[in-house]
Chains A and B, each alone.
Chain A
Amino acid sequence: MKLICSLIIALGVMFVPSPVHAANNARVKEWEKSIVTLEITRKVYDYQQPWTRRSDQSVKSGVVTGPNELLTTAEYLQDRTLIRVQKGGRGKWFEGDVAWIDYHANLAVVTVKDPTFWAGLKALPVAAKVPTRGQADLVRWRNGALEAREVNINRLVVKRGKLTFIDTLQMEIDTEMSGIGWSETIIQDGKIVALSATREERSLTAIPSHFIKRCLDSRHTGPFPGLGYFAFVWQRGENPPLMDYLKLKGEPRGAVVSEVPSNMVPPGALKPRDVIMEIDGLAIDSQGDYRDPDYGNLSLENLATHAHWAGQKVKMKVWRDGKEVLTEYQLPKADYKVEVVPDALFDAEPEYLIMGGLVFQPLTIPYLQSWGADYMRKAPFRLSYASQQKASASTPSVVVLSAVLPDTFNIGYQEARWLLLDQVNGKKISNLRDIQNALKNPKNGFHELLFQEGDNLRRAVLDATGLDQSTQRILQRYGIDEPVRVGPSSK
């Protein structure tokens, strides 16, 4: 009997709401008015058979940040066919539209036309300043209830973003939560401080609110100019003999420019062996970092997006040939098409061209990803190596023979694949349109294909007169509607 009384007392103590819990519950209640769930249906392509597609559905989080404005990450919004939004973790789904999206920023604003959706919803403010440490809440709808779990902000770091090839400011968060990285909102002191983007083991990477706020503010003030980046290559300036050689006296400092792009604006703004001493008046140390007044030491790469947009000029003080020089570097726009092998193809169907059963495609990272997550190791070396090269005027992009659909017409070439195409009928090939144009001029009734030098087939010949007929036969046999898909975006 005594034991039972004790248990009752203990249970009673457990269920008395503490003032702290009450406050937490109140906070969570408030967040229920701001956090929404998005369900996205989109087209997914098989780059090994680029004429095929299937549907895929993803569920992720969003947060109300203003009138008719839901903020979420851009990931999984590409190639969308339907967006549905749900508030309160249950009940009716409302159809949504993308009002703004930038894949390099990995941010999107979704809106819902039905005014009834917005009833009872409340915007959460986006914090202008980001905490570099401390605790915050990660919030999401889960099984009809709002889940708010405490996470630890570990640090701010400048690194490559999820959907881009440029470095941007990111927040790293320690957490043991699983199934996250789907645009969950990170909240501190009632404000959005980040949106989750990726999770690896116990570390969650999130897009910090400082960056988010700049993007949202910019979109409200006019067309979004896009993210700029530093297209030059630099190395740390921490080796004293190197700095002596560059005639820079005193403690090592600055970042040494090792390579500049050929299309830099203005030409000569930076030169190899320049030492970047200051950017926007902020001193660059020997590790290539600057001292951010709010966030401490950060890589100079952050200064391309911290206060600038693509096309803007960044003031730099460089050490050149033994003296200080003031220069301005114009930020190029982050664009997948500037890469010889584009990182992504969003909102565009994959291009291909079938010619007598030979399937040609632009070499892209999505194509390489058809070898799996570890594609850089598993894809053929010549293809993965090409993806690490820089585009040039002579080679802005490359085309790969991705497969051969067997037919009597292409006997003898059926083992050929993964070859980079160099020329057709003597014309240099950079994209599928180049092939289409080159095919207009066969040589003595034959199409001559020259692949890039390597350790496999270099030359192939096709019968020009029988090409169209055989292509039609092959399309029919393999159930392919069109022999070619070349988008307006073809470089």
Chain B
Amino acid sequence: MPLLLVIAALLLGLTGRAAASDPERSVVQITTFSQQPVWDAPWRSDSVRRSSGTGFVVRGKRIMTNAHVVSWAKQILVRRYQDPRPYVAKVKFIGHDCDLALLEVENEDFFDGMQALEIGNLPPVRSTVATIGYPAGGEQISYTRGVVSRIEVQSYVHVGNRAYLAAQTDAAINPGNSGGPVIQDDKVVGVAFQGLPGLENTGFFIPTTLVNHFLTDVDDGEYNGFPQAGIRLMPLQNPAYRKMLKMPDNNLGTRIDHIFTAPASRKLLKLDDVLLKAGEYDVGSDGTILYHGNRVSVSVVFNEFQHGQPIHLKLWRDGAEVELDLPLEVISDDREEGNLYDVLPRYHVYGGLVFMPLCRDLMKSIGGNWTDPTNADLLYELFYRKHDKPETVRAEPIVLTSILTHRSNANFSLRGRLLVDKINGVKINCMEDVIKGFATENGTGQHVLEFYPEHGIECLDRKASSAAQSEILKSNGITNDRRL
């Protein structure tokens, strides 16, 4: 009984403070009805799923929430604080990389009496914050309080292949809290977005540096994303390496170990350039900067710029300081390495053979442990070839994902997910090449398919597969043989 009283008192206290400015009146409950594609049968979709999250009103009569709250949405309903009426909302902008989205509500009456919450600054570590949202376990709004435990770069699991600044808090962040505001001094200092399985009292929120970047980005009516330098930096702490580069023996400077495909970086930067200063920030020998009192990766500075904007860099090159402006761009050629959303998968079905571009979602459809070595060739193609053998990278590696069994293809002896090298002699660099390949005459009565890296070969009888096409599509409930 005394314990219950303590909890009640805490809640009342929190509610009382929040009620002073009523931020909860600007916090909305979001119900999403979503439908995801079936990645191993891309012409089908899963059953409709209901999920819920939280959002809050920001300037311009818009609702901010997490991208993962509204991904694959068929319908989005929003409810005001203590108002049972559902309003239909739609996604205006969505950034899967930073897990943020902006919603619009069709009926503008929805915003009557609601104030846009003010966006604050990056909260100090150890300061107290409150989360407001609609987490699982009840229908009413919920308040929790905690401290900012640390601020550093974390993996953003929604997209899966990006890491940005994130703040950790011990305030409870549970399913349903996603997209809700994290409040300090009546201002939004972050957006609750993810937890860590297996760790208690550990929740993360997206700091306002990213929120503001997102809001600025969409001001021109288009979301571009967070630019990157397209380089891999390595600590420069070994005395010999510093000596070889004629670097002073101090704690400054991190070394460019690899330059990815970003054209500007390839043009302006060199391997073994040492990054001394990025923007206004001195770069430490471990690749970190002192950012609002936190020691974080220098990548945080690059993330502050908008697509196409230049960042001023001070480098150490060939024994001397060099300064230059490096235009930063959003890198999208690794999109398939991350989780894909809202765009239905491309495919082509011919003669019962199902072709799809290689991507992380396709790999996950294998089920179980998709990083199993039995899928090594696919994993290598998706994640590693571009590093090892960039000259052999295909724009869109295509996989024969499955065979819809029919008498015309039942004797295929090669099975499993196979990387397609050629069809009728046409090298397959993208889905369009699959169409082109099957349309190519090779002087025989067969379509010839070659696979890599094991150089397997299979054939389809041209007449039989052409005749079987409509029957196969019909019997498998496929209305369209392709989605390109």
A-side interface residues toward B, CB under 8 Å? 233, 235-242, 244-245, 252, 256, 258-259, 272-273, 376-377, 381-382, 384-385, 388, 409-413, 444, 446, 452-455, 457-463, 466
Name the distance in Å between B299's Cβ and chain A's nearest Cβ: 15
Contact indicator A459/B454 (Cβ below 8 Å) = no
Contact indicator B373/A388 (Cβ below 8 Å) = yes
CA distance A252 to B412 in the complex (A): 12
21 contacts between A and B (CB under 8 A): A233-B454, A235-B456, A236-B413, A237-B413, A238-B413, A242-B446, A244-B445, A244-B459, A245-B446, A256-B457, A258-B456, A377-B373, A412-B237, A444-B244, A446-B243, A452-B388, A458-B257, A459-B257, A459-B272, A460-B241, A461-B241
Contact indicator B457/A453 (Cβ below 8 Å) = no
Name the distance in Å between A354's Cβ and chain B's nearest Cβ: 17
Contact indicator B457/A242 (Cβ below 8 Å) = yes
Contact indicator B373/A376 (Cβ below 8 Å) = yes
Cβ of B45 within 8 Å of any chain A Cβ, yes or no, is no
Contact indicator B238/A461 (Cβ below 8 Å) = yes
Q: From known contacts A454-B384, A457-B234, A459-B272, infer whether A242 and B376 are also in contact, taking CB-CB under 8 Å.
A: no
Q: Chain B contacts of A384 at CB under 8 A?
A: 373, 376
Cβ of B271 within 8 Å of any chain A Cβ, yes or no, is yes
Contact indicator A453/B241 (Cβ below 8 Å) = no
Contact indicator B460/A258 (Cβ below 8 Å) = no
Contact indicator A458/B412 (Cβ below 8 Å) = no
Contact indicator A242/B459 (Cβ below 8 Å) = yes
Q: Which residue, of B271, B369, B458, has the highest number of chain A Cβ atoms within 10 A?
A: B458
Beyond A412-B237, A458-B258: 8 further Cβ-contacts under 8 Å? Answer: A233-B455, A241-B411, A242-B446, A244-B445, A454-B387, A455-B384, A457-B257, A461-B241
User: Within the complex, which residue of A258, A385, A459 is in contact with B271, where a contact is CB–CB below 8 Å?
Assistant: A459
Contact indicator A410/B238 (Cβ below 8 Å) = yes
Q: Which residue of B lies closest to A465 (CB)?
A: B240
Contact indicator B457/A273 (Cβ below 8 Å) = yes
Contact indicator B238/A411 (Cβ below 8 Å) = yes
Q: Chain A contacts of B271 at CB under 8 A?
A: 459
Q: Which residue of A lies closest to B255 (CB)?
A: A459
Q: From known contacts A239-B411, A245-B448, A381-B371, infer whether A412 and B461 are also in contact, taking CB-CB under 8 Å.
A: no
Q: Chain B contacts of A410 at CB under 8 A?
A: 238
Contact indicator B457/A258 (Cβ below 8 Å) = yes
Q: Chain A contacts of B258 at CB under 8 A?
A: 453, 458
User: Within the complex, which residue of B236, B244, B459 is in contact with A241, where a contact is CB–CB below 8 Å?
Assistant: B459
Q: Which residue of B lies closest to A260 (CB)?
A: B455
CA distance A384 to B271 in the complex (A): 28
Q: From known contacts A238-B413, A239-B411, A381-B371, infer whether A259 and B454 are also in contact, taking CB-CB under 8 Å.
A: yes
Per-position binary interface string of chain B over residues 447-469, scored 1 when its CB falls under 8 Å from any chain A CB and 0 otherwise: 11000001111111100100000
Q: Chain A contacts of B81 at CB under 8 A?
A: none
Q: Chain A contacts of B380 at CB under 8 A?
A: 385
Cβ of B372 within 8 Å of any chain A Cβ, yes or no, is yes
Contact indicator B387/A461 (Cβ below 8 Å) = no
CA distance A240 to B459 in the complex (A): 8
Name the distance in Å between A153's Cβ and chain B's nearest Cβ: 30
Q: Chain A contacts of B235 at CB under 8 A?
A: 412
Q: Chain A contacts of B376 at CB under 8 A?
A: 381, 384-385, 388
Q: Chain B contacts of A238 at CB under 8 A?
A: 411, 413
Q: Which residue of B lies closest to A459 (CB)?
A: B257
Name the distance in Å between A305's Cβ and chain B's nearest Cβ: 23
Contact indicator A244/B446 (Cβ below 8 Å) = yes
CA distance A181 to B461 in the complex (A): 49
Interface size class of B (residues with CB under 8 A): 35 or more
Q: Chain A contacts of B241 at CB under 8 A?
A: 412, 460-461
Q: Chain A contacts of B369 at CB under 8 A?
A: 377
CA distance A354 to B414 in the complex (A): 46
> Mostly helix, strand, loop or mixed at chain B's interface?
mixed
Q: From known contacts A239-B413, A459-B257, A463-B239, infer whether A454 and B388 are also in contact, taking CB-CB under 8 Å.
A: yes
Name the distance in Å between A109's Cβ and chain B's nearest Cβ: 36
Q: Which residue, of A258, A385, A460, A461, has the highest number of chain B Cβ atoms within 10 A?
A: A461
Q: Chain A contacts of B459 at CB under 8 A?
A: 239, 241-242, 244-245
Q: Which residue, of A241, A412, A460, A466, has the highest number of chain B Cβ atoms within 10 A?
A: A241
Q: Which residue of A lies closest to B465 (CB)?
A: A241
Q: Which residue, of A259, A377, A452, A459, has the highest number of chain B Cβ atoms within 10 A?
A: A459
B-side interface residues toward A, CB under 8 Å? 232, 234-241, 243-244, 257-258, 271-272, 369, 371-373, 376, 379-380, 383-384, 387-388, 411-414, 444-448, 454-461, 464
CA distance A72 to B50 in the complex (A): 64
Q: Chain A contacts of B373 at CB under 8 A?
A: 376-377, 381, 384-385, 388
CA distance A461 to B372 in the complex (A): 34
Q: From known contacts A259-B455, A454-B384, infer whether A241 and B460 are also in contact, taking CB-CB under 8 Å.
A: yes
CA distance A242 to B384 in the complex (A): 32
Q: From known contacts A241-B461, A444-B244, infer whether A411 and B239 are also in contact, taking CB-CB under 8 Å.
A: yes
Contact indicator B444/A245 (Cβ below 8 Å) = yes
CA distance A8 to B234 in the complex (A): 87
Contact indicator B455/A258 (Cβ below 8 Å) = yes
Q: Chain A contacts of B383 at CB under 8 A?
A: 455
Contact indicator B461/A377 (Cβ below 8 Å) = no
Q: Chain B contacts of A242 at CB under 8 A?
A: 446, 457-459
Name the distance in Å between B247's Cβ and chain A's nearest Cβ: 11
Name the distance in Å between A373's Cβ and chain B's nearest Cβ: 14
CA distance A241 to B411 in the complex (A): 9
Q: Which residue of B lies closest to A451 (CB)?
A: B257
Q: Which residue of B lies closest to A356 (CB)?
A: B240
Q: Which residue of B lies closest to A256 (CB)?
A: B457
Name the distance in Å between B422's Cβ and chain A's nearest Cβ: 13
Q: Chain B contacts of A244 at CB under 8 A?
A: 444-446, 459, 461
CA distance A239 to B409 in the complex (A): 8
Q: Chain B contacts of A259 at CB under 8 A?
A: 454-455
Q: Chain A contacts of B243 at CB under 8 A?
A: 446, 463
Contact indicator A272/B388 (Cβ below 8 Å) = no
CA distance A225 to B235 in the complex (A): 53
Q: Which residue of B lies closest to A239 (CB)?
A: B411
Q: Chain B contacts of A240 at CB under 8 A?
A: 411, 461
Q: Which residue of B lies closest to A272 (CB)?
A: B455
8 closest Cβ pairs, A-B complex: A412-B238, A412-B237, A236-B413, A463-B240, A241-B459, A461-B241, A239-B411, A242-B459
Q: Chain A contacts of B457 at CB under 8 A?
A: 235, 242, 256, 258, 273
Q: Chain A contacts of B234 at CB under 8 A?
A: 457-459
CA distance A377 to B446 in the complex (A): 39
Name the distance in Å between A450's Cβ and chain B's nearest Cβ: 10
Q: Chain B contacts of A241 at CB under 8 A?
A: 411, 445-447, 459-461, 464
Contact indicator B413/A381 (Cβ below 8 Å) = no
Contact indicator B237/A235 (Cβ below 8 Å) = no
Q: Which residue of A lies closest to B442 (CB)?
A: A245
CA distance A460 to B236 in the complex (A): 10
Q: Chain B contacts of A454 at CB under 8 A?
A: 384, 387-388
User: Within the complex, which residue of A245, A273, A413 is in contact with B238, where a contact is CB–CB below 8 Å?
Assistant: A413
CA distance A348 to B376 in the complex (A): 30
Q: Chain B contacts of A459 at CB under 8 A?
A: 234, 257, 271-272
Q: Chain B contacts of A233 at CB under 8 A?
A: 454-455
Q: Which residue of B lies closest to A287 (CB)?
A: B413
Q: Which residue, of B240, B446, B454, has the highest number of chain A Cβ atoms within 10 A?
A: B240
Name the distance in Å between B430's Cβ and chain A's nearest Cβ: 24
Q: Chain A contacts of B232 at CB under 8 A?
A: 455, 458
Q: Which residue of B lies closest to A413 (CB)?
A: B238
CA distance A256 to B413 in the complex (A): 11
CA distance A409 to B236 in the complex (A): 13
Name the distance in Å between A426's Cβ and chain B's nearest Cβ: 14
Q: Which residue of B lies closest to A234 (CB)?
A: B456
Q: Chain A contacts of B411 at CB under 8 A?
A: 238-241, 252
Q: Which residue of B lies closest to A443 (CB)?
A: B244
Name the distance in Å between B446's Cβ and chain A's nearest Cβ: 4
CA distance A466 to B235 in the complex (A): 21
Q: Which residue of A lies closest to B243 (CB)?
A: A463
CA distance A233 to B456 in the complex (A): 9
